[in-house]
Amino acid sequence: DARVTQTPRHKVTEMGQEVTMRCQPILGHNTVFWYRQTMMQGLELLAYFRNRAPLDDSGMPKDRFSAEMPDATLATLKIQPSEPRDSAVYFCASGSDGGDEQFFGPGTRLTVL
């Protein structure tokens, strides 16, 4: 049963700390997306990759956020330094060329104190 996995599922940290979230896309998928979900802003696209190349990260605060795909099986989203306003659920999703559907992971619930 292929699915997107994300770690950790929950993270509580203090302001100023570095946070790294990881995502394993479905094997064979070549597009990867990072979203952030909050009550106030809803679902926002932060960044997306195609064939491991970043295509759009315009939704991401550049000064503190960074997204990478070290290899085809791993995508990372880092926040350094973290701030309380970064508290949200972060979702990773993957898809395949020629396909329109995105498959979402279970999310990482981040709380920054």
Partner 1 sequence: SQQGEEDPQALSIQEGENATMNCSYKTSINNLQWYRQNSGRGLVHLILIRSNEREKHSGRLRVTLDTSKKSSSLLITASRAADTASYFCATDANDYKLSFGAGTTVTVRA
Which tokens in the block code for residue 1?
Answer: 């049963």
CA-based nearest residue to 105, from 28, 3, 35: 3
Number of neighbouring beta carbons within 10 Å of residue 33: 25
**Rounded Cα distance, 41 and 90, in Å:** 13
Which x/- pattern, by CB under 8 A, does the window 69-98 give for partner 1? ----------------------x-x-x---
Q: Is the dihedral of CA 4, 8, 9, 12 positive or negative?
A: negative
Taking CB under 8 A as the criterion, the residue among 75, 107, 110, 112 binding partner 1 is 107
Taking CB under 8 A as the criterion, the residue among 20, 31, 87, 111 binding partner 1 is 31
For residue 100, the minimal CB distance to partner 1 (Å) is 5
Nearer to partner 1, 41 or 71 (CB): 41
Taking CB under 8 A as the criterion, the residue among 43, 51, 84, 85 binding partner 1 is 43
**Could you give the C-alpha distances from 13 to 21, 22, 33, in angstroms and in order?**
13, 16, 24
For residue 6, the minimal CB distance to partner 1 (Å) is 8
Task: Tell me which residues touch partner 1 (CB under 8 A).
Answer: 4, 31, 33, 35, 42-43, 45, 48, 50, 55-56, 91, 93, 95, 100-107
